[in-house]
Structures are given as structure tokens and as C-alpha cells.
Structure 1
Amino acid sequence: MARRTKEEAAATRDSILDAAEKLFVEQGVSRTTLQHIASAAGVTRGAIYWHFDDKGALFNAMMERATLPLEAELQVLDEAASGDPLSDLREYMLAVLRRTVEDPVARRVFEIATLKVEFVDEMDAVRCRRRHNLGQWMARAERQVKLAADQGLIGKNVDPARIALALWTMIDGMIRNWMFAPQSFDLLQLGKCVIDPYMEGLRAGRA
């Protein structure tokens, strides 16, 4: 009986998070109340408070449950072994774009975190997570750029931090704009058109 009760509680929690995720996409975080979420999930407000202290805690749990595209594909970069650091970096960036297109759950939460939330105190988890993701990206991208410089694939006088930040801006900006109108352009194709010339320009400067 205890096991069944625990499973039922977990199922209720998931249904609340599913409902919140759907409503946050449809009407934004600030315009979604706990009563809206309770009604959509078919539970009472009391059931929500049993699982979450407030909307901020519910929102944070929704974010923690999801794996965003930038995070999901880090393994691609960490396990890369092609011998060409720039090619590995390119493959990671394209994998992120591909994940954004093909994974509806990751895309939905990314949309909420970037377009549907105000960075007020109770939603500060988004700001913290974004800062963490940027830090992870910068560390890995700078490492790849330094390796490329050491191998003579690009010029020795490059600034790895500047290049890493430029690449982050490219990928983050493309995803954000695609989210506004997914049918307006092919995200993966545009990614190749933007990333490849930049990488080729880096290689061209190795002399």
C-alpha cells in the first residue's frame, strides 16, 4: 500500500509539472496561476502545495526535470576524438540545433526559459541555470580553440574566450529567433550556413 501511495504521489507530481509546462508555453509564466495549473492537472490547489511551496518552486522543479539542448549534447563534445578540435566543436553546435528541432520536451522548456518568463526573484533559477550553461560552454569551447591553436589549425594569436563567446552568441541567437517562428527557416541548415564560414575563417587565419 505504501509503495502504491508513493507511486501515486509521483504520478500526481508529474501531472502537475506537465500541466504547468503546457500552460507556461501557452500563456507565459507570470499569467499562469496555481489555480490554472490545478485545473489543468485535475487536482486541487492543496495537492500542488503538498508537492511545491509556491509557483517558484514548481517552476524550478519543471526546469530541473528537463534537459535543455545545450546540456544534452555536452557528451558529444566531451567524448569527441576526431583529432580536429574545430570539427568536434562544429559537430557539438549542430547537435544542439538538431536536438532543439527533434526533441519537443527540450524545445518546450527552452522556449519557456527564454521567451516566456520574467527574471523576477522567484524565477531566478532560470538566470542561474543560464549562467551555469554559459560557464560550461565557455570552458569547453575555449579548450577546443586552444587545442586547435596548439595543433596549428588556427593562428596562435587568437583569443579563445572571444571566439567561444562569439560561437555561443551564434547558437543562442539562432535558437531564440527560430523559436519565434519555427516554420520560417530550417534551423539546422541555417546553422551550417552560419557556423561553417566562421570556422573556415578561423582556419584561414592560421598562417
Structure 2
Amino acid sequence: MVRRTKADALATRHQILDAAEAEFLARGVAHTRLQDVAAAAGVTRGAIYWHFQDKAELFNAMMERAFLPCEGAAERALAVAGDDPLAQLHEMAVAPLRVLAESEQVQRVFRIAMHQTEYTAELAPVQERYLEGSGEFQQQLAEALQRADALGWLRPGLTIKAVALGLFALVDGLMHHWTLRPGGFDLVVCGEAAVRAYVDGLRAALPQAPTTAVPAAPAPAPPAPRSRRAPST
């Protein structure tokens, strides 16, 4: 009996989160009331408060449910890249793009977060959670860059923090633009090409092989003069 109660509670929670996705996407987060979500989910408003303290907590739960595939993809990317920190950097950057392109649920949630959310005072915890998550992602990128720098693989003069922020902005901008019009371009193909170009631009120049001077070929000897024969008599 206890197991069924827990299962029912979990099912209701997901039912509420599904309804929140639909309502936030249709109305915008600021204009969606908890009673709107309750009506769409077919539950009472009290049921929502049993699971979530307020709209901000509901929003964050919706985001975290969608972010789980992204976090798993980043971990798999590190395993695929092996010990190459620049390959790790590339894989970490493109992992969220692949998940976004493949998952309709992630697409809905990202459209809500990027285009349907006004960070009012009510949603201040949502903005704080976003900044925290983006900061963690930038830190992961920075750590890969630091490992590459320790190996001498980065060109001199780079600021690790600025480079990590730039790569994050590239990925974030691609997702922001693509969610406006998903059919506008291939997110994975264009994203991988853009990230590869960015990462390749960080690499230290390969040492050039020493050049050996080739001796000039000797000038050809002038032709020998022809001998003149005495006229015959």
C-alpha cells in the first residue's frame, strides 16, 4: 500500500510538471498562475502546494527534470574524449546541443527558459539557479582548459576564465537562436563546426621542422669551342 502511494505521488508530480511545461510555454511564466497549472493537470491547487512551495520551485523542478539528460551527456562526453583535455572541451560543449536537438521535452523547456521567462522578483530564485548552473558549466570548461594549458597545448597569452566564458556564450547563443526557429539550421552540424573552430583557435602552434638549406646546383659548364678544320686543297 505504501509503495502504491509513493508511485501515485510521483505520477501526480510528473503530471503537474507536464502541465506546467504546457502552460508556461503557452502563457509565459510570469502570466501563468498555479491555478492554471492545477486546472491543466486535473488536480487541486492544494495538490500543487503539497509538491511545490511556489511557482519558482515548480519552475526549477521542471528545469532540473529536463537538465538530467544534459548532465548525463556531459559525463559521457568526458569518457569518450579520454585523456585529451581539448577533446574533452569540445565534447562537453557540444553535448547539450545534441541533447537539445534530440529531445522534444528539452526543446520545450529551453524555449520556456530562454523566451518565455521574465525574471521578476517572484522568479528571483529561478534566475539564481540559472546563474549557478551556468557557472558550474563554465567551471567545467575552465578545468579542461587548465589541463590543456598545463600540457602546453594552448597558445600563450590566453585568459582561462575569459576563454571558458566565450565558449559558454557560443553554446548558449546557438541554443538561444535555434530555439527561436528549430528548422532554421542543423544545430548539431553547425554547433560542432563552430565549437571545433573555436577550440582549434586555442591550440598552440606546432613547432616547425628545421629547414635544411639545399645547396645550389653548379652552373653548367659552357660548351667547348668547335675545332676549325683547315680547308682541303
Shorter-chain TM-score: which interval?
0.7 to 0.9
8 A Cα contact 1:24 1:112, kept in partner: yes
Q: Shift of residue 77 of structure 1? A: 5.0
Shift of 1:75: 1.0
Superposition RMSD on alpha carbons, in Å? 2.3
Deviations 1:16-35 (A, max 9, x none): 12111111112211222223
**Bigger CA drift: 197-206 or 150-159?**
197-206
Cα deviation, 1:87-129, whole Å, max 9, x if unaligned, reads: 2211221222111111222232222222211112222232222
- Which has more radius of gyration? 2
Q: Which runs of 5+ in 1 are unaligned?
A: none
Deviations 1:136-177 (A, max 9, x none): 222221222122222222223321111111100000000000
Q: TM-score, normalised by structure 2?
A: 0.78
Aligned equivalents of 1:69, 1:2: Cα separation in 2:
29
Contact 1:155 1:203 (C-alpha < 8 Å) held by counterparts = yes
2:49 matches 1:26: no
Residue identity opposite 2:73 in structure 1: E
Superposed, which structure 2 residues align to 1:1-207 within 5 Å? 1-67=1-67, 70-79=70-79, 82-203=82-203, 205=205
Contact 1:68/1:107 (8 A) holds in 2:
no
Please give the alpha-carbon distance, in whole angstroms, between the structure 2 residues aligned to 1:144 and 1:56: 33
State the shift of 1:11 in Å: 2.0
Q: CA deviation at 1:80?
A: 5.4
Deviation >4 Å, runs of 4+: 204-207
Q: For 1:170-205, what per-residue CA distance to the aligned partner results, in whole angstroms no more than 9, with x for missing partners?
A: 000000000000011111111123122222222255
Cα distance in 2, alignment partners of residues 71 and 124 from structure 1: 23
User: Structure 2 regions of 5+ residues with no counterpart?
Assistant: 208-233
Retained in 1: the 8 A contact 2:110–2:179? no
- Structure with greater proportional helix content: 1
What fraction of aligned residue pairs are identical, expressed as a percent?
A: 42
Aligned residues: 207
Distance 1:107 1:186 in 2: 14
Residue range with higher mean Cα deviation, 15-24 or 152-161: 152-161
TM-score by length of 1: 0.86
142 and 52 in structure 1: CA distance in 2 versus 1, 3 angstrom threshold:
closer
CA displacement, residues 40-67 of structure 1 (integer Å, 9 cap, x when unaligned): 1112333333333332332233233332
**Aligned AA (2:160):** P
What SS class does the counterpart of residue 202 from structure 2 fall into? helix
